[in-house]
C-alpha cells in the first residue's frame, strides 16, 4: 500500500502543503505537513521568492530542477506563468552552464541513459521507465551541446530542458515525455578524465558501431512506444544530417537544430516582409556560416519558394552562402556534401564583395563567431536596400554576429534585426526598437503537439512551412510596428496551439495524418491539454 511519505516523495502526485485536511486524513499525511493549507498560487509565490533569492543563475537552475523533482505541478505552473523569467534559466543560456557542470551539480538521475554496454538490451531496459504511454522523446548524443561542443553524458540537461518546454509551451503531459541520452562516450578528454564524470568514460564509438546502436534505439522506440515522436537534438552536424536523412521517411522524427531553426527563421523572414513590403518570392538571402543551422534554413526556404511557384533551380538561385573560406561557389574543392546544392557558378569572393555582388535583402548569421557582421557589412546591406533584415542567430548573446545596437546604428535605423538570444530594446534617434528573438521554442512545441494531435506518421517539410506561416501570422501589427518579428513569450501556449492546428492540417494535406478530420485534432488538443493544476486525487 502507498504510504503518505510515498505520495510526498512522488513528484507527479505530490501537492505538498496544498493537500486539504480531508486528503491529509485519507492518504496518511497527517503530521507529515505543517498546519497551513496553501493553494497553488501561494505555493508558486513562495517558490518564486525562494528562487529569486539565489545569487546566481546556476543556483536558480538547481533550485528549479529540485522543484521539478519535488512537485511537478508546482514546477510547471510556475514555469507557465513566468515563462519569460524562467525559460533562460531552465533552457539557454543557463542550461549550457548546467551541462558543463553536470558532474558537479548532479543530485538525482532524471531521464534515460543508453550506453554501448546496453547493446542488444535497449528494448528490454526501456521497460524500466515507469511510464508506458510515451509520445515525445528528445534524444541527444551530447556531441554538440549548444555552442559548447562535446560534453558527453553531461548534455542530459538539453533533452530535459526541451521537454519542459513541450510541457509548458504546448500543454503536453509530462507523463508522455522521455528525455534520452545516447551516451556513446566522449572525445572531450578533460571531462572524461574528471573523476566526477558520470558518463561512459571512453572515446566515442563511431561508424558502424555508432549507427547500429542508434538503429537499435530507434527500433526499440518503435516497438515499445509506437506513437512516440523522436526529436534529435544537439548531434554533431554530419551525424545530424545522416540520422535525419536516414529516418525522416521511416519514422516520426525531426531534428530541431536543422528543421526547428529553419522554421523559426523562415517565420521571421515572412514577418520581415510585413515591415519591408518586399514580395517573399523576390527575396535574395545570404548566409554567413554554412553549417547545420544555415543549411537547414536554406533547405526549408527552398521548399517555401517552391510553394510560391518557383522551380527548384530558381529557388536555389536566391540562396547564397559564405563560410569561413568565402563565397560558396562551384570551383571550391573544400565543400561538404550539404553545401553542394547551394554552390553557384560564380567567382570566389570574400564576404563584403559577395554582399556587393549579390545584394541580398536578408543576411543570416549562423557561424558561432561573434563580431562577424562588421560595420562595413551592415552599412553595405543598408546601402543596397531600404529595409534590409539582419539575423544574428548565433547563441548565446555573447556570440551573436553583431548586437542589436550595432545593427540599428550601422544601418542608420534601417535594419530589421533578429537574434538567436535575447537583446534589450534599443533607442536609435528617439525611436525605440524591440529586437525579435528567433527562439526555436516558438516552433518545436507546436510541431510536436500538431504531430501528436493528428497522429502523424512522419514530419514533412510542409508541416514546418505551415508552422512558420502560422507563427508569422500570429505576430500582432503593433509588434510588427515596433520591429518585433515574433509574438511575446507569455503567449507561447496559445501560439503553439495555433501552430499545432496548422501543422495537423498540413499533415493531412501531405497524407501523413491518421486523424480523419480537424475535429478529431481539436478534440485531441482539448482532451490532452496539460494545465498544471492539482487534481482531486493525488
Ligand atoms: P556548425 O558548426 O554546423 O556551422 C558553423 C558554420 O559557420 C561553418 O560553416 C563555418 O565554416 C562557419 N564559420 C565559422 N566561423 C566563421 C567565420 N568567422 N566567418 C564565416 N563563417 C564562419 O554550427 P551550426 O549548428 O550551424 O550552428 C551555428 C550557430 O547557429 C551556433 O552559434 C548556434 O548558436 C546558432 N543557432 C541558432 C539557433 C537559433 O537562434 N534558433 C538555432 C540553432 C543554431
- Look up residue 257 and give its DSSP letter: I
CA–CA separation, 17 and 32 (whole Å): 10
Determine the straight-line distance between the first and last CA of the chain, rounded to whole angstroms.
14
270-304 burial by CB neighbour count: b if 16+ within 10 A, else e?
A: bbbbbbbebeeeebbbbbbbbbbbbbbbbbbbbbb
| Residue 512 covered by a domain | no
Identify the three-state secondary structure at position 327: strand
**Separation between Cα atoms, residue 369 and residue 308, nearest integer Å:** 33
**Backbone phi, then psi, for 143, in 5-degree steps?**
-85, -20
Assess if residue 236 is contained within a domain. yes
- In a shared domain, residues 253 and 263: no
Q: How far is the CA of 250 from the centre of ligand 1 (A)?
A: 28
Q: Which of 91, 166, 225, 241 is catalytic?
A: 91
Q: How many independent structural domains does the chain possess?
A: 3
215 and 271 housed in the same domain: no
> Within its chain, how far is the Cα of 171 from the centroid?
16
Give the span between the Cα atoms of 370 and 368, in whole angstroms. Answer: 6
- Same structural domain, 251 and 264: no
Strand partners, 114: 182
Nearest to 352 by CA among 385, 374, 324: 374
**Is the same domain home to 74 and 197?**
no
Of 420, 441, 462, the position where a domain reaches its end is 441
Cβ–Cβ < 8 Å for 492, 91 = no
Pairing of strands 426-428, 431-433: antiparallel
With CA atoms as reference, report the closest residue to 283 among 392, 364, 344, 375: 364
Atom from ligand 1 closest to the CA of residue 440: 41
Listed residues 409, 441, 473: the one ending a domain:
441
Same domain? For 195 and 278 the reply is: no
Q: What is the pLDDT, as a whole number, of residue 426?
A: 95
Nearest residue (by CA) to ligand 1, atom 2, is: 291
Atom 10 of ligand 1, nearest CA residue: 289
Which of 289, 390, 436 has most ligand 1 atoms within 8 Å of its beta carbon, as the pocket-test mutant?
A: 289
**Residue 8 lies in domain:** 4-88
Which one from 15, 44, 100, 162 is the annotated catalytic residue? 162
449 falls within a domain? no
pLDDT for 1 equals: 73
> What span, in angstroms and rounded, lies between the C-alpha atoms of 314 and 223?
42
- Ligand 1 centroid to Cα of residue 376, in Å, is 21
Whether residues 336 and 288 share a domain: the answer is: yes
Residues 436, 440, 446: CA angle, nearest 5 degrees: 110
Other Cβ atoms within 10 Å of 192 Cβ, number: 18
Distance in Å, CA 52 to ligand 1 centroid: 33
**What's 363's domain CATH number?**
3.40.50.720
Q: Are 388 and 416 in contact (CB under 8 A)?
A: yes
Using alpha carbons only, give the angle 284, 285, 288 rounded to the nearest 5 degrees.
Answer: 150
Residues 194 and 339 in one domain: no
- The protein residue with its alpha carbon nearest to ligand 1, atom 17, reads 324
**In a domain? residue 515:** no
> What pLDDT was estimated at residue 92?
87
* Whether residue 420 sits in one domain with residue 338: yes
Distance CA 505, CA 252 (A): 16
CATH of the domain at 8: 1.20.1370.30
E strand spans, 338-414: 362-365, 389-392
Domain boundary among 379, 410, 441: 441
Same-domain status, 275 and 207: no
Are residues 373 and 241 part of one domain? no
CATH code where residue 134 lies? 3.40.50.10380
What is the sign, positive or negative, of the torsion defined by CA atoms of 506, 167, 88, 158? negative
- Asked if 290 and 421 sit in the same domain, the reply is yes
Query: How many CB atoms neighbour CB 31 within 10 A?
Result: 7
CA atoms of 377 and 391, how far apart (whole Å): 13
Ligand 1, residues 293, 354, 373: which to mutate, most atoms within 8 A of Cβ? 293
Q: Residue-wise pLDDT tens for the chain (538 aa)?
A: 789 999 999 999 999 999 999 999 999 999 999 999 999 999 999 999 999 999 999 999 999 999 999 999 999 999 999 999 999 999 988 999 999 999 999 999 999 999 999 999 999 999 999 999 999 999 999 999 987 899 999 999 999 999 999 999 999 999 999 999 999 999 999 999 999 999 999 999 999 999 999 999 999 999 999 999 999 999 998 999 999 999 999 999 999 999 999 999 999 999 999 999 999 999 999 999 998 889 999 999 999 999 999 999 999 999 999 999 999 999 999 999 989 999 999 999 999 999 999 999 999 999 999 999 999 999 999 999 999 999 999 987 889 999 999 999 999 999 999 999 889 999 999 999 989 899 999 999 999 999 999 999 999 999 999 999 999 999 999 999 888 999 999 999 999 999 999 999 999 999 999 999 999 999 999 999 999 999 877 7
Ligand 1: residues with CB < 6 A are 147, 237, 257, 261, 264, 288-294, 323-324, 366-369, 372, 393-395, 399, 420, 438, 440
The protein residue with its alpha carbon nearest to ligand 1, atom 23, reads 291
Domain membership of residue 105 (yes or no) is: no
| C-alpha 339 – ligand 1 centre gap (Å) | 14
Asked, for residue 453, whether it belongs to a domain, the answer is: no
CA of residue 313 to ligand 1 center, whole Å: 25
Q: Is 409 found in the same domain as 392?
A: yes
Pairing of strands 362-365, 285-288: parallel
Question: Residue 93 has what pLDDT?
Answer: 86
Here the cell at position 530 is 496539460
Of 2, 43, 55, the residue nearest 19 (C-alpha): 43
Evaluate whether residue 16 is within a structural domain: yes
Task: State in Å: Cα 291 to ligand 1 middle.
Answer: 6
pTM of the model: 0.94
For residue 396, what pLDDT is reported?
79
3-state secondary structure 183-197: CCCCCCHHHHCCCCC
396 within a domain of the structure (yes/no): yes
The answer to whether residue 162 is catalytic is: yes
- Residues recorded for the chain: 538
Amino acid at each position: 500500500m502507498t504510504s503518505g511519505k510515498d505520495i510526498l516523495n512522488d513528484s507527479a502526485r505530490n501537492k505538498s502543503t496544498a493537500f486539504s485536511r480531508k486528503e491529509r486524513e485519507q492518504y496518511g499525511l497527517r503530521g507529515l505537513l505543517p498546519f497551513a493549507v496553501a493553494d497553488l498560487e501561494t505555493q508558486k509565490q513562495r517558490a518564486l521568492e525562494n528562487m529569486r533569492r539565489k545569487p546566481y543563475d546556476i543556483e536558480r537552475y538547481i533550485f528549479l530542477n529540485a522543484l521539478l523533482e519535488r512537485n511537478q505541478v508546482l514546477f510547471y505552473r510556475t514555469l507557465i506563468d513566468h515563462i519569460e523569467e524562467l525559460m533562460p534559466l531552465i533552457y539557454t543560456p543557463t542550461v549550457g552552464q548546467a551541462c558543463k557542470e553536470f558532474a558537479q551539480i548532479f543530485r538525482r538521475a532524471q531521464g534515460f541513459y543508453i550506453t554501448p554496454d546496453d547493446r542488444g538490451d535497449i528494448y528490454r531496459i526501456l521497460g524500466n521507465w515507469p511510464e508506458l504511454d510515451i509520445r515525445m522523446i528528445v534524444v541527444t548524443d551530447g556531441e554538440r551541446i549548444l555552442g559548447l561542443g562535446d560534453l558527453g553524458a553531461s548534455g542530459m540537461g538539453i533533452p530535459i530542458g526541451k521537454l519542459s518546454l513541450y510541457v509548458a509551451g504546448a500543454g503536453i503531459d509530462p507523463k508522455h515525455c522521455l528525455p534520452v541520452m545516447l551516451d556513446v562516450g566522449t572525445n572531450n578528454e578533460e571531462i572524461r578524465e574528471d573523476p566526477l564524470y558520470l558518463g561512459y568514460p571512453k572515446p566515442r564509438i563511431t561508424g558502424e558501431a555508432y549507427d547500429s546502436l542508434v538503429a537499435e534505439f530507434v527500433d526499440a522506440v518503435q516497438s515499445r512506444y509506437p506513437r512516440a515522436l523522436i526529436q534529435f537534438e544537439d548531434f554533431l552536424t554530419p551525424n545530424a544530417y545522416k540520422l535525419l536523412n536516414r529516418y525522416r521517411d521511416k519514422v516520426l522524427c525531426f531534428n530541431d537544430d536543422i528543421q526547428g531553426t529553419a522554421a523559426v527563421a523562415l517565420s521571421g523572414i515572412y514577418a520581415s516582409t510585413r515591415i519591408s513590403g518586399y514580395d517573399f518570392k523576390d527575396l535574395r538571402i545570404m548566409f554567413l556560416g554554412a553549417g547545420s543551422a544555415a543549411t537547414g534554413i536554406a533547405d526549408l526556404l527552398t521548399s517555401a519558394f517552391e510553394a510560391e511557384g518557383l522551380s527548384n533551380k530558381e529557388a536555389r538561385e536566391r540562396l547564397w552562402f559564405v563560410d569561413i573560406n568565402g563565397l560558396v561557389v562551384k570551383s571550391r574543392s573544400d565543400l561538404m556534401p550539404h553545401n553542394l546544392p547551394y554552390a553557384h557558378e560564380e567567382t570566389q569572393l570574400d564576404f563584403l564583395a559577395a554582399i556587393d555582388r549579390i545584394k541580398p535583402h536578408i543576411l543570416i548569421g549562423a557561424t558561432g563567431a561573434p563580431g562577424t557582421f562588421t560595420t562595413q557589412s551592415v552599412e553595405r546591406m543598408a546601402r543596397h536596400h531600404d529595409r534590409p533584415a539582419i539575423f544574428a542567430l548565433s547563441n548565446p548573446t555573447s556570440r551573436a554576429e553583431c548586437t542589436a545596437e550595432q545593427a540599428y546604428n550601422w544601418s542608420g535605423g534601417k535594419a530589421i534585426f533578429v537574434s538567436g538570444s535575447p537583446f534589450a530594446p534599443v533607442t536609435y534617434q528617439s525611436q525605440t526598437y524591440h529586437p525579435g528573438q528567433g527562439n526555436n521554442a516558438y516552433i518545436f512545441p507546436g510541431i510536436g503537439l500538431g504531430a501528436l494531435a493528428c497522429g502523424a506518421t512522419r514530419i514533412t517539410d510542409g508541416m514546418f512551412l505551415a508552422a512558420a506561416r502560422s507563427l508569422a501570422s500570429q505576430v500582432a501589427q503593433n509588434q510588427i510596428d515596433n520591429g518585433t518579428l515574433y509574438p511575446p513569450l507569455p503567449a507561447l501556449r496559445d501560439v503553439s496551439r495555433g501552430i499545432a492546428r496548422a501543422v495537423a492540417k498540413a499533415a493531412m494535406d501531405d497524407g501523413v495524418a491518421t486523424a480523419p478530420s480537424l475535429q478529431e485534432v481539436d478534440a485531441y488538443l482539448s482532451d490532452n491539454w496539460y494545465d498544471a493544476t492539482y487534481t482531486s486525487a493525488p
